[in-house]
Amino acid sequence: MSRQDPGRPDTTPNGNADLTQRATGGGLDTRTAILRSARTLLEQHGYHGVGLAEVARAAGLSRQTVYLHFGSKRGLLLALVDWVDQVEGLEELLAVARSAPSAVAALDALVHLTAVYTPRIYKLAAVLEVARRSDPDFDAAWQDRMAHRRRNMGAVVKWLADAGDLADGMSVKSGTDIVWTMLSVHLFEDLVVDRGWSTERYQAFVEDVLHHRLLPPDLG
């Protein structure tokens, strides 16, 4: 943590009046406290439903502290994305997919990863979606992260191609486009969140479509 509370001034015009936890010995530092409350509130009320004042209050801090740490709402969101991916263990899950025994297994692992991971982050993804369309600068930064995600998928499709497991006439680029689209958060939201499908059914559906579209007839 950092400093302590000077005196719990309470009744600040800024709107704190909270009971500030921030366990000094606990281990949560200020930055994490902000990220935690930001995530909770944003997932609950959406991008425009939460102001930085509210985030700060929930973290037991002043509004300015948020600006001190993240510079802007955009900065907070960007940091939030990285933090959540780290907290939710995205890298570990990706490592599993990369260590698959075959190209087809890697593709299936990618689908499985998505079915497991998306439920953890789709609410935040909805927030980011709005942020993208509200803030061009955020959108630019977001595209970078998405390009990274696309490269992961492209690598698997390339693997398929090199192993001769890609259907005739299917280029790596087209295949990647299809994987990208079928594994998008949008599609998960449509099927699982809005239409009530189970993640198992979602996974089976996506896997089936990808197999039929990407693999040669004998494998699909």
Partner DNA sequence: ACCGTACTTTACGCGGTGTCAAGTCTTTAC
Partner DNA sequence: GTAAAGACTTGACACCGCGTAAAGTACGGT
Binding site for DNA (CB under 7 A): 1-7, 9, 12-14, 16, 18, 20, 22, 29-30, 50-54, 56, 60-65, 67-69, 71-74
The distance of closest approach from Cβ of residue 135 to its own copies in the complex, given in angstroms and rounded to an integer, is: 8
Angle of helix 136-162 relative to helix 73-87, nearest 10 degrees, comes to: 30
| 46 contacts its own copies (rule: CB under 8 A) | yes
CA–CA distance, 166 with 172 (Å, rounded to integer): 8
Q: Which of 40, 72, 184, 199 binds its own copies (CB under 8 A)?
A: 184
Contact (Cβ atoms closer than 8 angstroms) between residue 122 and residue 191: no
How many residues can be counted in the chain? 220
Closest CA relative to residue 44, chosen from 30, 33, 54: 54
Widest pairwise Cα distance in the chain: 73
CA–CA distance, 107 with 156 (Å, rounded to integer): 6
The distance of closest approach from Cβ of residue 49 to DNA in the complex, given in angstroms and rounded to an integer, is: 8
| 186 contacts its own copies (rule: CB under 8 A) | yes
Interface characters, 84-123, with its own copies (x: CB under 8 A): ----------------------------------------
Nearer to its own copies, 184 or 199 (CB): 184
Nearer to its own copies, 65 or 203 (CB): 203
Please report, as residue ranges, which positions from 5 to 34 form the binding site for its own copies (by CB under 8 A): none
- The residues, any chain, with a CB within 8 Å of residue 110's CB and separated by 6 or more, are 97, 152, 153, 156, 179, 183
The distance of closest approach from Cβ of residue 114 to DNA in the complex, given in angstroms and rounded to an integer, is: 30
Backbone CA torsion sign across 176, 137, 93, 39? negative
Cα–Cα–Cα angle for 94, 97, 102, rounded to 5 degrees: 160
The distance of closest approach from Cβ of residue 13 to DNA in the complex, given in angstroms and rounded to an integer, is: 5
Nearer to DNA, 40 or 174 (CB): 40
- The residues, any chain, with a CB within 8 Å of residue 115's CB and separated by 6 or more, are 188, 199, 200, 202, 203, 206
The stretch among 32-40, 109-117, 157-165, 189-197 that binds its own copies (CB under 8 A) is 189-197
Binding site for its own copies (CB under 8 A): 46-49, 126-127, 129-130, 133-134, 177-178, 180-181, 184, 186-187, 190-191, 195, 197, 205, 208-209, 212-213
